[in-house]
Chain A
Amino acid sequence: EAGVTQSPTHLIKTRGQQVTLRCSPISGHTSVYWYQQALGLGLQFLLWYDEGEERNRGNFPPRFSGRQFPNYSSELNVNALELEDSALYLCASSLGVGGPQETQYFGPGTRLLVL
């Protein structure tokens, strides 16, 4: 069974640009989560999508946004990139919510470098 996949694996952008990261969940999983792993800041929760709806977002500015498609894949968009957005962006998926279904399985990540 394929795991969570993310694309691209690496990305280099300049300040002020916009970027879109993509995530495909494990087959049968309906929830998708996004985290940012920045140097020195650890793993920070960004967004949670379930059944196509945004269910929760972390303490990030509105220029971080995303969506979930009918096939449960997801995009993370970051507008007006800043240097501190340089990080590994991790996507995770789960079967659903509540109890054992909530276990989040992570993809390999997209490493974003903003120059």
Chain B
Amino acid sequence: AQSVAQPEDQVNVAEGNPLTVKCTYSVSGNPYLFWYVQYPNRGLQFLLKYITGDNLVKGSYGFEAEFNKSQTSFHLKKPSALVSDSALYFCAVRAGSGNTGKLIFGQGTTLQVKP
């Protein structure tokens, strides 16, 4: 079965420090992987994706993610956290080996950046 796991419910980091939000996945075939961010009472904002190519993917707002096939991971990173990065982050994988239209989401990780 296809699945995504975000092992941490919450990540706390001080402003200016690097941040990592973890994601591991289990899929058949080649994974399409995504990161989204959700601010309170808002929809999801697309941050970045991995479909093929370079394992290091750069996205919006200074975020990047590293695809690691051997560890089946797609961790989200940022070199220097901002207080405004505090939000709920979701990792997602496209379900199925073909076009299903379905994204499977992790349970989300709350990022808290303290000044």
Q: Which of A11-19, A66-74, A97-105 contacts B (4 or more CB under 8 A)?
A: A97-105
Whether A106 touches B36, Cβ cut-off 8 Å, given contacts A90-B43, A99-B51, is yes
Q: How far is the CB of A77 from chain B (nearest CB, A)?
A: 19
How many chain B residues touch A (CB < 8 A): the figure is 25
With the chains together, A39 CA to B94 CA distance in Å?
Answer: 22
A106, B44: Cα distance in complex, Å = 6
Q: A63: CB under 8 A from chain B?
A: no
A90 lies within 8 A of B44 (CB)? yes
Q: Chain A interface: which size bin? A: 20 to 34
Give the CA-CA distance A31 to B99 in the complex, in Å: 12
| Residue numbers in B under 8 Å from A58 (CB-CB) | 102
| B-chain residues with CB within 8 Å of residue A4 when the two chains form the complex | 43
A55 to chain B, nearest CB (A): 6
Docked complex Cα distance between A31 and B94 (Å): 15
Using a CB–CB cutoff of 8 Å, the interface residues on chain A facing chain B are 4, 6, 31, 33, 35, 42-43, 45, 48, 50, 55-56, 58, 90, 92, 97-100, 102-109, 111
